Each structure stands twice: as C-alpha cells, then as structure tokens.
Homo-oligomer: A and B are copies of this chain.
C-alpha cells in the first residue's frame, strides 16, 4: 500500500503543500529548498506514492474519463472505432471506458447510469434504442454527448453518421451494373435506423435503374448474427421464382451466415454470384466472386466524434447536429464486373418452381 500525501508530509515533517509541490515537479517554481526536496523525493522513492485519482476527481469534479457505449464490441466496426477513439483520448490525457450492451436497451440504460454516476466528463453512444427517460439526467448535467453511427427518430443530440443511404445506393447500382439484375438485400436488425437508411438507398437505386431493369427484394428480420444470415437465405430459397444473381448483406455476420447457407445448399459458392456487403474484412479477398464492400471510415468517424466532444467540453461550438462521413467502396474481382453479365442466374434454380424471363 503506497503512502498518501498526508502520510508523507507527516513522516517527513513537512506540510501537505510542500509535499504536493515537489510531487508535482513544481519545486522549482516555488523555490522549495533543494534539501527539502531531496528528503521528500528520497522518501517517495523508497515508500512509493501513487496518486489517488478518486480523491482528486472528487475534489476537481472532473474524472478525465470518457464513456463509450456500444451495442456490440465483437462487431469489428465498433472495435476499430473504439481503438481510434482511445488513441485520441490518450493524446488528450483522457481515459476511454467502453461498455458493450449486446443490443439490449436495459443494459444500455444501466451502462449509462453507471457512467454518469461515475462522473464521466463526456459520453459517446452508439445507441441500440431511442433514448427515453434516461436522457434526462444527461440533460440536467449538460454532459457533453455525441451519438455515433445510429440516430433514432426525434433524437436531438449531436450525431456523427456514415452516409448509409448513399452507400447503399451506390453499392446497389454497382452490383446492377455488374450484371446482377436481381438482388436480394439480406438484412439483420431492421429496427436499426442505419439499416433502414440502407434499405431506402437500396430501393432508390432500384428505382433509378433505367427502364427498371434492376429487380430487388429486401429480406429482413431479427438481430445481426450469423444465424439470422442463415435464416434469411433459407427464406430466400423458400421463395418462388428465380434465384437472385446478387446478394447484398447488411453486415459481415449476415454475409457469413448467408455464405454458409449457400454453401451447404450448393456445396460451393456459385462463382457468378455477385456479393455485396456492408463492412469489409480482408478475408473477402479470397472469394473468387465479384465482391463489393462498403467500408466505414472509423478513423474519420472517431475524429469527428472526438472533436465534437472536445468542443463541448470546452464550451465551444460543437458544430452541426448531424455530420455525415463518407464511406469507401472496396472492389474485389474487378474483372468479373467488366465482362458482360452472364445471361443465366448465378445460382441454379432449386427444387422450387422456376420462372425465367
């Protein structure tokens, strides 16, 4: 157990102030005598001293802690976001405390309460539900707050978002141009407003296709998990009509589930299938297929979040209430896209009845 300032003072015979001064390296500024200083330093070197931040925080009413609440840290997007935020925080002498809520409103609620009672200096939330009553204590405290990635209807707080609508529109368009005349958009977590934006973008792209050559359908349900991905493909197979030539997945997890299901059905992934997905992972490169992936710019998102937070903490203008960050399109299997689209559907028709145009 290391000593407290009081103990050091008592045991060296100096006062609290003197000890504090040398401990803080301000001995010079206040011209503490070299001897005093040396005695204290020697004592500390021997017995050790670690500052008690709890006491300090209580006194200063500042914790130097930023709270970060995410729905799911095993989602690589949030993990990267966290990493980027942490770097910024560290540079500013702040500590980032992250909690993962498993997309559970109740847990989110408790996490927020917890952070607030611990006196965080700022809060960044990727919410899993609309903020209800628990917004009140935040408001009262005028706690710096920024929302990231998702914003539910009616929420007034400042939010930093990727351009979900436009990403979806662009990727859909590219898939169509690449020969996928019929695309199934497989969505987990349709309650998520960002997913809803993507669905709107998907539909916009279809509507814009000259002559309505692009066909599409949205299959959405449940959570954002591999199992749901499997289920969505099962539902797709159960549908009447032709198999789509492209699948667009709302996340990597959904994609993984979908590919799993497709492979166990066909024994392999049909080479002509055009694959689109939100979130990028390097392993996608091993697929022989044409792949388009939307990658969010976690670095820029984190920077924007942090700048905004810092501004609030310093009482400055925090900027507009919505800030949209562009995404990047990753293109794999480029060649496939440049050649003419295959005339036949990418997936052979299953046992279900088949129509051909």
Contact check, A100 vs B83: say whether CB atoms are below 8 A apart.
yes
Q: In residues 100-150 of chain A, which contact B (Cβ within 8 Å)? A: 100, 102, 107, 110, 113-114, 116-119, 136-137, 140-142
Q: A74-B80, A119-B53, A137-B50 are in contact. Are A86 and B58 (CB under 8 A)?
A: no
Q: A311 an interface residue at 8 Å Cβ cutoff?
A: no
Say which residue of B76, B98, B137 sits within 8 Å of A98 (CB atoms): B98
Chief secondary structure at chain A's binding surface: helix
Q: A58-B58, A97-B97, A286-B287 are in contact. Are A52 and B117 (CB under 8 A)?
A: yes
Q: A323 an interface residue at 8 Å Cβ cutoff?
A: no
Q: A288 an interface residue at 8 Å Cβ cutoff?
A: yes
Say which residue of B119, B257, B281, B283 sits within 8 Å of A52 (CB atoms): B119
Q: A79 an interface residue at 8 Å Cβ cutoff?
A: yes
A residues contacting the other copy or chain, number (CB 8 A): 59
Residue of B nearest to A285 (CB): B260
Q: A95-B99, A118-B53 are in contact. Are A74 and B63 (CB under 8 A)?
A: no
Which residues of chain B have C-beta atoms less than 8 A from A299's C-beta?
Answer: none
Distance between A97 CB and nearest chain B CB, rounded to angstroms: 5
Contact check, B114 vs A95: say whether CB atoms are below 8 A apart.
yes
Q: Interface readout for A66-92 with B: 1 if CB under 8 Å, 0 if not?
A: 000000011010011011001000100
Q: In residues 44-69 of chain A, which contact B (Cβ within 8 Å)? A: 48, 50-55, 57-58, 63
5 A-B pairs with CB atoms under 8 Å apart are A54-B57, A73-B79, A252-B283, A257-B282, A283-B283
In the complex, besides A55-B58, A73-B73, A76-B76, 16 extra interface pairs with C-beta distance below 8 angstroms are: A1-B142, A2-B137, A50-B113, A50-B116, A50-B137, A53-B118, A54-B58, A74-B76, A90-B110, A96-B99, A98-B98, A252-B283, A256-B281, A259-B285, A283-B284, A286-B287
